[in-house]
Amino acid sequence: MRSTHRLLAAHRELWDRAVRHPFLRMLERPPSEEAFRRWLGYEAYWFERALSSFGCLLPQVARHHRYVLAQALMLLTEELDWLEVNALPVPRRGEVQDWADRLGEYFAQGGDRLMVSVWLATRLQYDALRALAPEDELPRSYLERRTSPVVEAFLHDFEEMAEPAIEKLGLAQASGVLVRVVDAQAALWDLGLALAQGKE
């Protein structure tokens, strides 16, 4: 069995619980467009940090993988452009700052850990979103972008890059990376749920 498959199998319960987060169900029928646009503002912050991390990772990977990461940087830039048009600006204080600090730790990982994180974060979002069917135009456009054939192709390439990284780290260390990825993504969805419920 591939190392990527063993890693996911070892944490199947945690993974399945994450992709059933209550916020994801709410994406199909957001309580308001404003709440969804505000949540997109937080995701834009996520993408800004990811863009910086991808740039740091580029010289660390094997030469034949650099083209994939360079293409991913272009995709991230396009997504940030889309978010700039559709997201509302959000404050960065209190709970939001705590989340930002946790996000900073998540992206501060280097080398093999960051490569595994990139694959896991992409896979988690894809698994969580692909079965949803939003009624409103903006959430539907968002989901189509996050589960497009282009994203599927990157997901395959990222898994190929993560495979040797997991073998080098070992299952125990890779498991720590997975838990951190799930925690960071769940924190973002928690914020979305709070916004939808008018608590943020």
Instruction: Give the residue-averaged pLDDT of 40-61.
Output: 76
Q: How far apart are CA 142 and CA 131, in angstroms?
A: 13
Torsion sign over Cα 164, 15, 190, 143? positive
Determine contact, residues 56/13, Cβ cutoff 8 Å.
no
Q: How many residues does the chain have?
A: 200
The closest alpha carbon to 38, from 138, 137, 105, belongs to 138
Q: What are the pLDDT digits (tens) for 113-124?
A: 888 988 998 999
The pTM score is: 0.87
Q: Looking at the predicted structure, is the pLDDT value of residue 56 above 80?
A: no
Q: What are the pLDDT digits (tens) for 91-100?
A: 765 555 666 6
The closest alpha carbon to 46, from 151, 118, 111, belongs to 118
Q: How far apart are CA 131 and CA 127, in angstroms?
A: 8
CATH number listed for the domain at residues 3-196: 1.20.910.10
Q: What are the pLDDT digits (tens) for 144-175?
A: 999 999 999 999 999 999 999 999 999 999 99
Q: Where are the domains of the chain?
A: 3-196
